[in-house]
Amino acid sequence: MDRLRLSDSLEMSRIVYGMWRLGDDDDVSPSHIQAKVEACLMQGITTMDQADIYGGYTAKGLLGSAFTQAPGLRDRIELVSKCGIVAPTGRYFGAKVKHYNTSSDHIMRAVEQSLSDMRTDRLDVLLIHRPDPFMDHEDTGKALDRLVSDGKVLNVGVSNFALSDWTLLQSAMTTKLVTNQIELSALHHQPFLDGSVQWMQERGVPPMAWSPLGGGDLFGTRGAIVRAVLNRIAEEQRTDVAAVAVAWLLAHPARVLPVMGTNSLSRIQTLGDAMRVEIDRETWFEILTAAMGQDVP
């Protein structure tokens, strides 16, 4: 598995295991969650992606139970987490409305809760989960800088940020933001065309890509045309459609980090197959053309 350096203190595996569905499995025992992490590690997938809101604020505790059962497991991975979404469920059941909170107080409390839930003393990366239209960038930036200086968070970044959101927050910080996690797939390819990927590429910021299989739509009616092209390539290279779809993202020079989420242990064991798929320039555009439904201009 290839690795990518994002900062002096952070390397990530090119494929990331996303844990947003961790609490949806029929088996949420510590041993089963450990088996998922170990299946990733066997392929060199060492980066795990979490968030406060995953599983109605329960997914982090499930992972923490696995860390407790398997001492040393935490130190074999890079742990990414996100905060800032407050939904009226779980610990925020009393919230009047779903909203974003990027205040210093909320971020500090969220990190302390994350460290407690996951039984760890640091996060390798903390992301602000969504751009907050009510953000006080000075307050937010100060909180993120302090978490890094205190050693509770080693790196910070954002998720779903436009360039204007990024530059606003970065202007109030001394710590460099290391990534932006965005929706990106063959079915959601607009970020390759509208400047979203380009500004990150210009700044040397590798994007993390959530829903790289289009939230499963790639295997439904909506994805039929693209899937036909992916399937032909998969047959030629003796792999499957998912591996080709992920390889399409990996091939881009922006150094995309796909975040793969599945609860199937057998599927987890094949996530690394995408690294063996070859996508040249013409093949990349062939997939884009199918996704667009027309030739490029």
pLDDT in tens, the chain (297 residues): 999 999 999 999 999 999 999 999 999 999 999 999 999 999 999 999 999 999 999 999 999 999 999 999 999 999 999 999 999 999 999 999 999 999 999 999 999 999 999 999 999 999 999 999 999 999 999 999 999 999 999 999 999 999 999 999 999 999 999 999 999 999 999 999 999 999 999 999 999 999 999 999 999 999 999 999 999 999 999 999 999 999 999 999 999 999 999 999 999 999 999 999 999 999 999 999 999 999 999
Cα distance between residue 22 and residue 260, in whole Å: 12
Q: Give catalytic residues, as residue numbers.
A: 54
- Point out which residues pair with 180 in neighbouring strands: 158, 207
Task: Return the pLDDT at 74.
Answer: 97
Give the pair of three-digit tokens for residue 163: 């360039």
**What pLDDT score was predicted for residue 28?**
95
Residue 36: CB atoms within 10 A of its CB come to 23
Query: What type of residue is 285?
Result: F
Residue 230 in tokens: 């992916």
Q: What pLDDT does residue 19 have?
A: 97
Q: Are 17 and 271 in contact (CB under 8 A)?
A: yes
Torsion over CA of 4, 10, 15 and 21, rounded to 10 degrees? -160
> Phi-psi category of 216—alpha, beta or left, where left has phi over 0 and alpha has psi -120 to 50?
left
φ/ψ of 153, rounded to 5, equals -130, 130
Give the model's pLDDT for residue 48. Answer: 98
47, two tokens: 């980066």
pLDDT score of 54? 96
DSSP strand pairing (125-128 vs 78-83)? parallel
Residue 41's pLDDT is: 98
Read off the tokens for 268: 């987890």
What size, in residues, is the chain? 297
| Segment (H or E) for 227 | helix 224-237
In this predicted model, what pLDDT tens digit does every residue of 151-203 receive, in sequence order?
999 999 999 999 999 999 999 999 999 999 999 999 999 999 999 999 999 99
3-state helix, strand, coil in the chain (%, to 5): 45, 15, 40
